[in-house]
């Protein structure tokens, strides 16, 4: 599991862990059923407080990414749970919104945007 913490980002440490582990689950980098280090082992390895890692894991569990076993550790939950699907949907929406903002600034019309999206979808499914 890869977690890289920034001291100067202004984002709380637990938030950084949560985002990075969550992202790794979503990209499939952390596969379903994979074991994560225990809260205490992660705290030791990152040299941060136990309360911080506990909080990160608790929030990841609440969002359906992982399941924690008291005293043991945590493992990655299957991706198709409703909560994760919602997460992914939100990411799709956010991504498309960013694209639309850019399109507006570039002066692209509705048809242009749809054509680009179609093109991307075609190449995506050709490869698949």
Partner 1 sequence: MPETPAFALRGVNCAVGNGFALRDVGFELPTGYVMGLIGANGAGKTTTIRCLLGMRGIDSGEIELLGRRVPGSVSLRQDVGVVLDHTYFVGEWRLAEVERTLRPFYDRWDGARYRQLLDEFGLDPKARVKNLSRGMAMKLMIAVALSHRARLLVFDEPTSGLDPVARAELVGIIGDFLLDEGHSVLFSTHITADLDRIGDFVTLIHDGRVVDTGPKDEILDAYRVVRGGPDELTDLIGVELIGARRSPAGVEALVRTDEAGLLDGRVLVEAPTLEEIAIHIGLSSARPALRTRTRGAAA
Residues in touch with partner 1 (CB under 8 A): 38, 40-41, 43-45, 47-52, 54, 71
C-alpha–C-alpha distance, residues 7 and 112, integer Å = 42
- As a whole number of angstroms, the distance between CA 120 and CA 80 comes to 24
* CB nearer to partner 1: pick between 5 and 99: 5
Give residue 14's Cα distance to chain centre: 14
**Nearest residue (CB) to partner 1, 24 versus 48:** 48
Least distance to partner 1, CB of residue 47, Å: 5
- Residue 23 or 41 with smaller CB distance to partner 1: 41
Tell me the β-bridge partners of 102.
none
Shortest CB 51 distance to partner 1, Å: 5
* Shortest distance in whole angstroms from residue 103 CB to partner 1: 38
Where does 19-109 show beta strands of DSSP type E? 35-36, 66-69, 73-76
């Amino acid at each position: 599991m890869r977690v890289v913490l920034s001291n100067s980002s202004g984002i709380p440490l637990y938030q950084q862990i949560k985002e990075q582990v969550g992202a790794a689950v979503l990209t499939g980098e952390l596969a379903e059923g994979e074991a994560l280090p225990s809260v205490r082992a992660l705290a030791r390895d990152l040299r941060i407080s136990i309360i911080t890692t506990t909080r990160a894991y608790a929030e990841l569990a609440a969002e359906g990414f992982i399941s924690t076993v008291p005293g043991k550790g945590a493992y990655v939950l299957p991706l198709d749970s409703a909560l994760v699907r919602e997460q992914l949907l939100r990411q799709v929406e956010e991504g498309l919104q960013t694209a639309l903002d850019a399109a507006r600034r570039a002066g692209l019309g509705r048809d242009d945007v749809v054509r680009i999206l179609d093109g991307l979808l075609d190449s995506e499914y050709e490869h698949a």
